[in-house]
Structure 1
Amino acid sequence: MKKILTAVLAVATIAGSLSVTAPAAKAGDVGAGVAAGLIGGALIGGAIASSRPAYGGPVYVEAPPPGPPPCVWRRERYWDGYGWVSRPVRVCY
């Protein structure tokens, strides 16, 4: 990337110095300027488009918390006044 940027900067510097010392063009002679602009834009655009994106480095991602514990069915005994009775009860921890 640095080599490409250096080359583009050198070409732009040389082209800028040539355009300053060039003789004045005729009124209908704009084709060369348009062509130079298109070529320069293609070179600079190609250099920007082919550059790789910046790498942000590794990122720590925390594991999701564990889900709620499962519920279980348990048989519990209780005294109903006449005797011991068992019934299913759902218990969640």
Structure 2
Amino acid sequence: MQYKLLFSKEAKEKLESLETHDPKKYKKVCKILGYMETNLSHPSLQTHKYESLSGPEGQEVFEAYVENRTPGAWRIFWYYGPGRSVITVWAIAPHP
């Protein structure tokens, strides 16, 4: 299934900041976003529900790995919607 990605204001700002200040990280994030659009079950994503967060309207929040086995590894936090075949990227950040 193909998904359309929408970005929260914060996620969009972080992506723009990475493009300017950390092109290597930006490239990694873009690769993962591409997988999210086309194949949410891609093994690289290691997608799973993130139990301690809820979306702005109580949605289940999931995380996808940008990096693994790296101190301060980056993650993409997202939820389904609004609407069918849409994913909202809520945050792009180092793992807390």
The answer to whether TM tops 0.5 is: no
Larger Rg: 1
State TM-score, norm by structure 2. Answer: 0.25
Give the helix-richer structure, 1 or 2.
Answer: 1
Greater RCO, CA 8 A, separation 6+: 2
